[in-house]
């Protein structure tokens, strides 16, 4: 009789052991944490770029900009990829952290602040559409003009200005000008709402004619 009672209990002990193992596995997975943000949000990257971050450009002179860009989608996104030179006077707080090799929320928000408080010095756009896990590689080229007065004024005012090369996603709308030609008006996606990691870096400016 005692033997039969032990046999009845054996499946229950097995089920309890399985439950413990499952809970342990769940707990171990929880300890690993969620993936890094660049693995969860749509990621923009420079795969190649000219001028490089360590090169200088001359004030008042045109600059040939060539960008190799990569978009790694984490959700369905439709809009325009924009590579753009942006001039800030003064530069918004936090832009000093910009580094094209870093892909963080702080970086993306710094680019967003630049876009909100600067003017364009030249850009190129491309209509794009993508879905989760799609990777697109796109080449863009344009001519930027560095403002001639960027280095004029007191040392403090010059130091407060900034010129940046940025890469972002935007909505776009074609508008007809008074002369009958069309222009594309772009509105950057909200970084946190759209979960897109913008990127960019500062360009170093020298007096006109002295850039290498």
- The pLDDT value given to residue 13: 54
pLDDT over threshold 50, residue 12: no
Question: What are 108-126's pLDDT values in tens digits?
Answer: 999 999 999 999 999 999 9
pLDDT value, residue 113? 95
CATH class of 37-206: mainly beta
The predicted pLDDT at position 211 comes to 55
CB atoms within 10 A of CB 138: 16
User: How far apart are alpha carbons 110 and 95 in whole angstroms?
Assistant: 5
Give phi and psi for 22, each to the nearest 5.
-65, -40
Token pair listed for 43: 């990621």
Report, as an integer, the average pLDDT of 4-18.
49
What is the average pLDDT across 15-37? Answer: 58
In the chain, pLDDT over 90 holds for what percent of residues?
A: 59
* Dihedral angle of Cα 9, 10, 12, 16, to the nearest 10 degrees: 130
Alpha-carbon span 95 to 99, nearest angstrom = 9
Q: What is the mean pLDDT of the chain?
A: 86
Pairwise pLDDT comparison (19 vs 185), residue with the higher score: 185
The Cα–Cα gap between 120 and 87 comes to 6
Q: What tokens appear for 20 in the block?
A: 């413990």
pLDDT digits (tens, 9 = 90+) for 181-200: 888 999 999 999 999 999 99
Q: Which two tokens stand for residue 137?
A: 């590689």
pTM: 0.81
- Please say if the pLDDT value at position 23 is more than 70: no
């Amino acid at each position: 009789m005692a033997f039969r009672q032990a046999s009845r209990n054996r499946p229950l002990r097995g089920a309890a052991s399985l439950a413990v193992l499952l809970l342990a596995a769940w707990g171990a997975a929880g300890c690993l944490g969620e993936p890094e943000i660049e693995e969860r949000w749509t990621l923009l990257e420079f795969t190649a770029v000219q001028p490089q971050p360590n090169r200088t450009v001359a004030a008042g002179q045109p600059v040939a900009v060539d960008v190799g860009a990569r978009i790694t989608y984490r959700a369905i996104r439709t809009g325009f990829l924009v590579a753009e030179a942006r001039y800030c006077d003064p530069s918004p707080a936090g832009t000093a952290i910009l580094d094209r090799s870093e892909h963080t929320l702080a970086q993306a928000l710094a680019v967003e602040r630049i876009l909100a408080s600067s003017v364009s010095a030249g850009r190129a756009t491309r209509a794009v559409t993508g879905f989760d896990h799609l990777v697109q590689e796109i080449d863009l080229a344009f001519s930027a003009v560095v403002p001639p007065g960027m280095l004029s004024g007191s040392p403090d005012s010059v130091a407060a200005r900034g010129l940046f090369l940025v890469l972002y996603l935007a909505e776009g709308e074609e508008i007809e000008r008074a002369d009958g030609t069309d222009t594309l008006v772009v509105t950057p996606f909200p970084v946190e709402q759209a979960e897109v990691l913008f990127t960019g870096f500062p360009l170093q400016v020298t007096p006109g004619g002295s850039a290498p």
